[in-house]
Structure 1
């Protein structure tokens, strides 16, 4: 019979072997007790925030910033519905023989069950990688670690809002709460989560989606805890799938997972009550640990929309490209740079950015969204980079491919020294006349450092709806409705405008 001493010696020996093999990075203790841990009660704290926060608790500045991201998400759902991804998703939903339901698939005349509407709308919002991005606080929280908050949370709030016939205040409150929860969880989890390959929009988004759904379903604290626990077990998404249709699938699945979690919890489904902080819970399993000081007592203090802020994208590609793209666009205009005059372009960043911008010679539009080389090349050739530039046809044009070969994407010591809480990008453009035009940017247009106004977001919204050939009159009505969203008596007023 194996003794306790034998068991401990076996576990210690196994830990040594695994560490030497590189399979685990932290010291393993066979004597670790799976009982009380620092942060005990964290899941309860999050659930209480979800249940107790009221619309009046949202500062006016937070509400105003949230409306911009809310409108942005709706426009992206409409443009995303016109993509190949949107078409595939609708066909899959149709194959389930669910012909009707209370929730709309934005940009279409289709209605379905809330979970499938959330799934489709989440995919559509993230389809072009044009959706908003959370910014980091801590120095070790690399920008890519965090999350796209609106793509998984907004579809959940809308779908459950339609189910419950909620008003504008209720839907906006749920959306704000879902974003806040997802973003603070993102701040807390160890950077290893993202660096090792998890796609945080798919993982953390499921928890944010569940928070929004739980609020609209008016779940009590114990039931909300179960909803969070179910969502944490559903959370998934791997960055190896960046540059493929499966990246936006993560956002859609996260939105759907939150709806499923809240509805199952409402129905009596059981789950663990310390899913965030437990030794075998989300933070430890998915991140190898967490910083409790980044979340305990921090929900709504301050709201993430206010500080450090949410960045809205002016370009339909990975946010890590944006400082460089904003600076390149500025340099082109300020110096009247022509593509034919460019000999070489050097783009230097910190070492974490190439970890996400992995497609150096893209062959399709999805890969191009994660290619610094393409983003620089297309701006030099056309001076702009919108939905019309991110197409397979453009990516494979001979002149684009030739320009890509002139772009060197490297790790720069100066950018590395600036820290991972910035997206420092250094550009040197060598011209045929012997000049070198240089520039540097830590942030891009649309970031809190250089924010887009509501009117500028509305302009992006109209560009996206025009791209999808969505009725212009309805698009303008949506802009007006979102601007005074708290006055809407029933979310159906907005839903009707979101259909073709």
Structure 2
């Protein structure tokens, strides 16, 4: 009887969360103010936007964006919104989509731990598009950004890790909710309308892991921003949705995960902030490869051997490392961003791991492709995802290894503000748009004092 009582109590608790989660989130978003946000979270929001601008300026001239721009230009209601690093203008829905694509195209954007969501691209792109068509202050945009990131990451926590393992691209599926909540906030929607915006977003959540390494992935990331913006605009006109789009019997959580953690939506809401678990990459690849590259660069720095001397490379890490990056014989720079075989080969061969090392040109090097076949994975569930060990086994029988406990850019070893600023300078130069990075950096550090949030896009668009 005691066991039955305990089980009933557990179900009752779950049902309490299930019955009101969407409404509690909507009420919280409606009521939240800038005063509720701690200084640490405020600063992290600015850091996230510095990183967002950096990666968007790097990706703005990628062939993926060139192709998307040509197609999107055929459509649109007006030309009210610009694109980061480019001179073309679009309606705000298409501008949101393209600016989210640009920020994610190189997989160099921020990463929320533990969901592995790239939170900024969908939310920032939607807000920056709207800011060009509707007056808002920098403080209002930052608050909405913080809230949108919180919503998408809490939804991600509720379905992780099963959601991604089942094949859902979590940045896209959860990002649409973050964009919807953020835009709903700056539009001044009430709690009922915000819940409708989340319901409208639930009808447009999509994205598959199978698309990683291809241009197709950019479609769903772009749609997360575009459709989240659309969801809130519809809700502003009382376009109604379901009462429980997240936790309902056939809502997002239960459809996309067999055992969702519904309590993750609201536990600690307003007290615990997802942005404090956000990280920024030093390398343009999947975040689980960061410790691998750190180890390889260390090994290469002290090497008294050549690649020809290597019998095999043993890569030890969390099983997620193999699940996400066991991709031999990649065919494009995009595929190489999620390939341990390529990352190990190029880092050991060149001692570098920048955008040039994860390009189509680098992938075309036959010696790197051949070396990747020597990689062996060793799974160890006890290892955290931000750590890894690379052991180089030489033909002589000697083994040289490096273990990284916390990858550069992880929560335990975060990039400093000056490193994020340097990243913006470097990636702006790589993208070749001609946009000056320093005015963007200066504006972002003081963005909560800006009277017009649209100033950021005026600085970010190419002339």
Q: Which residue of 1 aligns with 2:86?
A: 108
- CA offset at residue 406 of structure 1? 2.5
Q: Which of the numbers 438, 441, 451 marks the counterpart of 1:489? A: 451
Q: Which residue of 2 aligns with 1:274?
A: 244
Matches within 5 A, 1:120-269: 120-136=98-114, 145-269=115-239
Q: Which residue of 2 aligns with 1:53?
A: 32
Residue 439 (str. 1) matches residue 402 (str. 2): yes
Q: Which residue of 2 aligns with 1:310?
A: 278
Structure 2 vs 1, CA of residues 97 and 195 (structure 1 numbering), >3 Å: closer, same or farther?
closer
Q: Which residue of 2 aligns with 1:411?
A: 378
Q: Which of the numbers 80, 83, 86 marks the counterpart of 2:59? A: 80
Q: Which residue of 1 aligns with 2:390?
A: 427
- CA offset at residue 190 of structure 1? 4.7
**What is the distance in 2 between the residues matched to 1:387 and 1:165?**
36
SS of the residue aligned with 1:41? helix
**What is the distance in 1 between the residues matched to 2:208 and 2:218?**
11
The more displaced of 152-161 and 116-125 is: 152-161
- CA offset at residue 452 of structure 1? 0.4
Structure 2: gaps of 5 or more residues: 1-10
Structure 2 vs 1, CA of residues 443 and 361 (structure 1 numbering), >3 Å: closer, same or farther?
farther
The more displaced of 474-483 and 339-348 is: 339-348
- CA offset at residue 271 of structure 1? 0.8
- CA offset at residue 358 of structure 1? 4.1
Residue 96 (str. 1) matches residue 68 (str. 2): no
Q: Which residue of 2 aligns with 1:401?
A: 369
**What is the distance in 2 between the residues matched to 1:291 and 1:94?**
41
**What is the distance in 2 between the residues matched to 1:398 and 1:112?**
41
Q: Which of the numbers 331, 338, 353 marks the counterpart of 1:385? A: 353
Q: Which of the numbers 328, 332, 345 marks the counterpart of 1:364? A: 332
Structure 2 vs 1, CA of residues 401 and 60 (structure 1 numbering), >3 Å: closer, same or farther?
same
Deviations 1:349-380 (A, max 9, x none): 23333222242221111111111010000001
**What is the distance in 2 between the residues matched to 1:499 and 1:50?**
30
**What is the distance in 1 between the residues matched to 2:83 and 2:311?**
47
- Across the two proteins, how many residue pairs are aligned to each other? 450
**What is the distance in 1 between the residues matched to 2:44 and 2:160?**
27
Residue 119 (str. 1) matches residue 103 (str. 2): no
The more displaced of 422-431 and 57-66 is: 422-431
Q: Which residue of 2 aligns with 1:455?
A: 418
- 8 Å contact from structure 2 (residues 328, 373) kept in 1: no
- CA offset at residue 46 of structure 1? 0.8
SS of the residue aligned with 1:131? coil
Deviations 1:152-188 (A, max 9, x none): 1110111122222211101111111111111111111
**What is the distance in 2 between the residues matched to 1:90 and 1:255?**
16
Deviations 1:174-211 (A, max 9, x none): 11111111111111125321111111011000001101
- 8 Å contact from structure 1 (residues 322, 443) kept in 2: no
**What is the distance in 2 between the residues matched to 1:428 and 1:271?**
54
Structure 1: gaps of 5 or more residues: 1-31, 137-144
SS of the residue aligned with 2:246? coil
- 8 Å contact from structure 1 (residues 160, 217) kept in 2: no
SS of the residue aligned with 2:312? strand
- CA offset at residue 425 of structure 1? 2.0
Q: Which residue of 1 aligns with 2:4?
A: none
Matches within 5 A, 1:471-486: 471=434, 474-486=436-448
Structure 2 vs 1, CA of residues 70 and 97 (structure 1 numbering), >3 Å: closer, same or farther?
closer
SS of the residue aligned with 2:66? helix
- CA offset at residue 97 of structure 1? 5.4
**What is the distance in 1 between the residues matched to 2:168 and 2:405?**
25
